[in-house]
Amino acid sequence: MIAPSVLPADFSRLGDAVEALAQAGVDLIQWDVMDGQFVPNLTFGPDVIASTRDRTDLPFEAHLMVWTPDAMARHYVEAGCSRLIVHAEATTHLHRTLGNIAELGASAAVALNPATPPSAIAHVLDLVDLVLVMTVNPGFGGQRYIATMEPKIREVQAMLEAAGRADEVHIEVDGGIAADTVAGAAAAGANVLVAGSALFRHPDGLGAAVSELRSLATAARA
């Protein structure tokens, strides 16, 4: 699945960007929510996301790169996000945080920064429908893919298989995903691909970029 990051879009025309992404054939839209504390950048509040909700029927997921996911969760669900991705590093009580997200009626998901081992999520795999393995240090688009995350993606895949959750839980990757890096991530087990620059900067436009990424990933997983 292709989950574009809206980060590289023209922020004065976010609704148009959402519509264009939907027309380009993406599977869902990822909103990179940054609070300026957990990561050194500041992006979308819930009202910004809510203002684009009626521009497509595609699912929205909020990647909460924030220190206070518990306080923010409800607002992003009410803004129209059906999945919330919280960072394992950003909450003291991850198990409770994920359970609270499910209580709000959204799908709960967990993200791991590059230095965080998969063991950090070993005891919450029953609470999530997606694990996000960051392939850059979060905060900005356009960074270089960290290929040393591929063994970590394999490790998460193995943990899901051992827990009998491999069919229910997606593995998502985010950061530096492009034509020259997607095969490694997909072959390692990623089935949801977040891309920003690779889509918005593709010379042949969003549609061509989405199809190219999807076919490269599919071939790598065959």
Length of the chain: 222
For the record, the structure tokens of 165 come out as 């959750």
Which among 27, 35, 174, 204 is annotated as catalytic? 174
Q: Which residues of 145-154 are buried (b: 16+ CB within 10 A; e: fewer)?
A: bbeebbebbb
**Least distance from C-beta 143 to ligand DX5, angstroms?**
5
**Least distance from C-beta 171 to ligand DX5, angstroms?**
16
Q: Which residue, 164 or 205, is less far from ligand DX5 as judged by CB?
A: 205
Binding site for ligand DX5 (CB under 6 A): 5, 7, 32, 63, 136, 138-143, 174-177, 194-198
Give the burial class of 177: count Cβ atoms within 10 A of its Cβ; 0-12 exposed, 13-18 middle, 19 or more buried.
Answer: buried
Q: Which residue, 88 or 195, is less far from ligand DX5 as judged by CB?
A: 195
**Least distance from C-beta 202 to ligand DX5, angstroms?**
11
CA 209 to chain centroid: 18
Q: Which residue, 94 or 136, is less far from ligand DX5 as judged by CB?
A: 136
* Catalytic residue flag (residue 32): yes
CA distance 11 to 2: 21
User: Which residues are part of the catalytic machinery?
Assistant: 32, 174
